[in-house]
Structure 1
Amino acid sequence: MFGSHVPTMTVTEIDDETHLLDVREDDEWEAGHAPDAHHLPMMELPARLAEVPTDRDVAVICRSGGRSAQVVAYLMHNGWEQVRNVEGGMGDWAAAGRPVVDSDDQPGRVL
């Protein structure tokens, strides 16, 4: 759908230095997200671009990879170079056994 011009990475490639940007909606975030992720819903991105770092790797994640691919393309169009789409999104994150917490920092689930 987005072609090979949208760079990707797997959940296992994300390390502590990577800025993990979760672009899902509030209800999805509240149900379950990666503990160190930064929440910025896709529709709020244009107004909040300054919150996305330009000086380190940014991994963009959603539920399955579609919305995050759109965000990566948008960021690249606006000058970001170190940005990649997380293949398989939060579904792959949870399947890989990576932690998922809810808005109360309790065990969460991916919607």
Structure 2
Amino acid sequence: MRSHLNTLLFAASLAFANTASAQEPATTPTKTMELAKSGTLVIDVREPEELAQLAYDVPNLVNIPLADVAKRANEIPKDKPVIVVCRSGGRSAEAVAELQKLGYSNLTTLEGGLYAWQEAGMPVKKNGTPPAGCCAGGKANANCTPEQKAAGCCSGAPKAAAPAPADKKTEKKN
């Protein structure tokens, strides 16, 4: 009886493991680059400071930190594939789980994160400006800050005019 119970528990754990991995398929660095080049949205869930130091150099990359994923989910299209990335794979898995709770299903992660990306010799940006963190779905919405709208980050938002240069003649000196 005991061995029968152990067999059932083992089978149940295998079934659960297969279900969990089916919900969150992972992709390789090469496949991630191919998909990004073909238009797939890539969301990096690391903090902006991390991206400023070292970032994936791929098209269609948007930064939505893990802590903001749920409140900015409306920026992420439900009808298109999305790859969620981070440094090692942990935060991207958390983000995928959060998005799945919100009804997203066309999600994948990068196996091994930025570590695997670099090990595969894929391009990175060092000490650069992080990608825009606004409007992953390509539409203006309430989550865009005034600064992002002024910078033209959100489509449909006009670019702010550059401030007029100060007139040296009327400028007062202190």
TM-score bracket for this pair, using the shorter chain length: 0.7 to 0.9
Amino acid at match of 2:24: V
Q: If each structure's helix is expressed as a fraction of its own residues, which one has the higher value? A: 2
Counterpart position of 1:64: 88
Aligned-residue RMSD, C-alpha:
1.8
2:66 is aligned, of 31, 42, 45, to 42
Query: Which runs of no fewer than 5 residues in structure 2 stay unpaired?
Result: 1-16, 131-174
Q: Does 1:103 align with 2:125?
A: no
Name the structure 2 match of 1:19. Answer: 41
Is the radius of gyration larger for structure 1 or structure 2? Answer: 2
Could you tell me whether the CA contact under 8 Å between 2:70 and 2:99 is conserved in 1? no
Aligned length: 104
Of structures 1 and 2, the one scoring higher in RCO (CA 8 A, sep 6+) is 1
| Pick aligned residue for 1:10 from 19, 28, 33 | 28
Deviation of residue 55 (structure 1)? 2.2
Alignment of 1:74-93 (within 5 A): 74-93=98-117
What is the rounded CA distance, in whole Å, between the counterparts of 1:74 and 1:43 in structure 2?
A: 10
Structure 2 CA distance for aligned equivalents of residues 76 and 104 of structure 1: 30
**SS at 1:56's partner residue?**
coil
Among all aligned residue pairs of Structure 1 and Structure 2, give the percentage whose two residues are the same amino acid: 36
Separation (CA, whole Å) in 2 of partners of 1:30 and 1:99? 15
AA aligned opposite 1:25 = E
Amino acid of the structure 1 residue aligned with 2:80? R
2:79 paired with 1:55: yes
Moved more, 7-16 or 86-95: 7-16
1:43 partner SS: helix
**Partner residue, 2:145:** none
Superposed displacement of residue 95, structure 1: 1.4
Q: Offset at 1:76?
A: 1.4
Q: Which amino acid aligns with 1:19?
A: L
Aligned-partner residue type, residue 30 of structure 1: A
